[in-house]
DNA sequence: GCAAGAAGTAACTAACTGGTGCGCTACTGA
DNA sequence: TCAGTAGCGCACCAGTTAGTTACTTCTTGC
């Protein structure tokens, strides 16, 4: 049982840290690592710039923290899907829907990942925590595939990593390139009908890929 | 033995312009719009910074030019595929292989497109030339689909734009996110065997999607 | 109640960055 | 031949940027 809440302190290290992190996430997502400004992050966090250096060390380290947290967030959300409680087909469809919805609801995630890769992944290299979370995720998908094969609904021999990449790709690409896509293909990528069509198309793509 | 070539002119506007454009493409691709440095571009182009402002107006305009040229290049290469000379299945497989190979051989293209979208496509907005090139491309794919349906090998009702997006996505995503992918999934994304597997997987994905 | 450390602030700096003013030089057309 | 122009280079600027120094203020354990 939570005792007293804790009275509104004028100083609150963890709250300040969290505000900085949120502001940084938003700014790095909006402008990239090079484009984001430390002063602006501090301003938006209603914190003094000095605090960024105090809590995170520097701009690059702040970016690293933001990035790792963003990845841990999605991995954690994936675990909550509880795919093992569903029949294989439904489980897979649920994963496709989730991946799509997550990118839609967390547009910063996409641009952060893009920035991370622009910098050749160097901000992610050390994180064992992330690697093990990813391992869990792959096993989860592997398990769905195995059950599907056992039930005779999925064809055997599908690599869960390739499948994951494809599921992410068909949603992620559409959303990250929505601006150039809208211009080049002269259609609105983001109205609700377009979004619905794309999701349907993606579910269809994945199902045709795995069904036996 | 070097033949005449064209005598080494001390001044060559179009050559200088081209060197700047090439250096800019490389730098913008490597570091993004905000990360690239005008001084560095000039240095790598063996040109004076002043020339960048003379030929292109400014950093943003230079980026716009680089971006439009990059898009025109891929659209032009797509037209050279001559898909209409091939049976529908072969035509489509050829397109998938081409898209993959193009991203592999022109890694700058991917990061330039990412940068363009980070800036919400604003550098592409005016280019009618690009829109019409894209229109031609979509018709080309539409025509392949139509022939496939007529031949009874493809199922009807497939949207060529959605198909294009998917073909691009499954290659592009793998390559643009190869750094984080390599780390998270603990496998080398770029050795020749991995690349071959991915291409096979992608061809399979697209074929299963369209075959009747 | 008080010392000590943690949270927070403001002003500063050294280096950098996009962009220019201006003059020099080679080519070209009449 | 020679004036005009386009290509080019130097040196500079004003604004910005990541990071720091030196300080004050609050909180907490004892």
Chain B closest-CA separation from residue A24 CA (Å): 16
**How many percent of chain A have pLDDT more than 70?**
96
The predicted model gives A85-112 an average pLDDT of 98
Would you place residue B145 in the very low, low, confident or very high pLDDT band (cuts 50, 70, 90)? very high
Task: Give the pLDDT confidence of B40-59 residue by residue, as tens digits.
Answer: 999 999 999 999 999 999 99
- Contact check, Cβ <8 Å, A179/B116: yes
Of B33, B71, B166, the CB nearest to A170: B166
Per-residue confidence (pLDDT) for residue B85, from 0 to 100? 93
Residue A40 shares a structural domain with residue A86: no
Residue B32 shares a structural domain with residue B133: no
Average pLDDT over chain B, rounded to whole?
Answer: 94
The H helix count followed by the E strand count for chain A is 10, 0
Per-residue confidence (pLDDT) for residue B126, from 0 to 100? 82
Residue closest to sugar C1' of D27 by CA: A11
Per-residue confidence (pLDDT) for residue B5, from 0 to 100? 32
Q: Whole-angstrom Cα distance, residue A41 to residue A125?
A: 25
Count up the domains in chain A and report the number: 2
Residue B83 shares a structural domain with residue B145: yes
The predicted model gives A127-144 an average pLDDT of 95
Residue A13 pLDDT > 90: no
Chain B residues 119-178 with a CB less than 8 Å from chain A:
120-121, 124-125, 127, 130-131, 134-135, 138, 159, 161-162, 165-166, 168-170, 172-174, 176-178
Per-residue confidence (pLDDT) for residue A6, from 0 to 100? 36
Residue B135 shares a structural domain with residue B33: no
CATH code, domain with A150: 1.10.357.10
Residue A191 shares a structural domain with residue A172: yes
Would you place residue A126 in the very low, low, confident or very high pLDDT band (cuts 50, 70, 90)? confident
Q: How far is the CA of B39 from the C1' of C17 (A)?
A: 9
The predicted model gives B154-168 an average pLDDT of 98
Residue A97 shares a structural domain with residue A125: yes
Residue B137 pLDDT > 80: yes
B2, part of any domain: no
A65, part of any domain: yes
Chain A closest-CA separation from residue B8 CA (Å): 38
Residue B96 shares a structural domain with residue B39: no
- Paired with B211 in beta bridges are B154
3-class DSSP state for residue B211?
strand
Q: Name every chain B residue with its beta carbon within 8 A of the beta carbon of A123.
A: none
A2, part of any domain: no
Residue A12 pLDDT > 90: no
Q: Is the dihedral of CA A82, A85, A88, A94 positive or negative?
A: negative
- Contact check, Cβ <8 Å, B32/A130: no
Residue A31 shares a structural domain with residue A107: no
Residue B10 pLDDT > 60: yes
Q: Whole-angstrom Cα distance, residue B72 to residue A199?
A: 29
Q: Whole-angstrom Cα distance, residue B120 to residue B125?
A: 10
Residue A97 shares a structural domain with residue A179: yes
A5, part of any domain: no
Q: Whole-angstrom Cα distance, residue A125 to residue A121?
A: 7
CATH code, domain with A34: 1.10.10.60
Note the strand C nucleotides within 7 A of protein beta carbons. 6-11, 16-22, 26-27
A183, part of any domain: yes
Do residues B140 and A82 make contact, with C-beta atoms less than 8 angstroms apart? no
Q: Which of A132, A137, A205 is best to mutate for the B interface (most B CBs within 10 A)?
A: A205
The predicted model gives A16-44 an average pLDDT of 98
Lowest mean pLDDT among A5-14, A120-129, B67-76, B194-203: A5-14
**How far is C-alpha A4 from the chain's CA centre?**
35
Domain interval for residue A159: 60-210
- Joined together, the tokens standing for residue A105 give 């609801």
Q: Give B85: exposed, middle or buried? Use CB within 10 Å, 0-12, 13-18, 19+.
A: exposed
Residue B103 shares a structural domain with residue B139: yes
Residue A90 shares a structural domain with residue A72: yes
Residue B144 pLDDT > 70: yes
- Joined together, the tokens standing for residue B94 give 């050829």
Residue B72 shares a structural domain with residue B166: yes
Residue B13 pLDDT > 90: no
Residue B26 pLDDT > 50: yes
């Amino acid at each position: 049982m939570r005792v007293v809440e804790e009275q509104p302190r004028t100083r609150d290290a963890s709250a300040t840290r969290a505000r900085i992190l949120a502001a940084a996430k938003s700014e790095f997502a909006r402008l990239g690592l090079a484009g984001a400004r430390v002063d602006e992050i501090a301003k938006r966090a209603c914190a003094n710039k000095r605090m960024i250096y105090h809590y995170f060390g520097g701009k690059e380290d702040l970016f690293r923290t933001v990035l790792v947290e963003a990845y841990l967030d999605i991995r954690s959300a994936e675990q909550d899907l509880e795919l093992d409680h569903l029949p294989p087909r439904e489980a897979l469809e649920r994963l496709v829907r989730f991946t799509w919805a997550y990118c839609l609801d967390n547009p910063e995630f996409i641009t952060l990942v893009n920035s991370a890769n622009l910098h050749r992944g160097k901000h992610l290299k050390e994180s064992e925590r992330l690697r093990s979370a990813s391992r869990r995720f792959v096993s989860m998908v592997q398990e769905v595939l195995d059950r599907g094969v056992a039930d005779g609904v999925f064809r055997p021999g599908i690599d869960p990593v390739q499948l994951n990449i494809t599921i992410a790709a068909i949603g992620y690409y559409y959303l990250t390139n929505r601006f150039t896509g809208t211009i080049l293909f002269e259609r609105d990528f983001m109205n609700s009908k377009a979004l619905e069509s794309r999701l349907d198309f993606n579910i269809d793509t994945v199902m045709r890929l795995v069904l036996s």
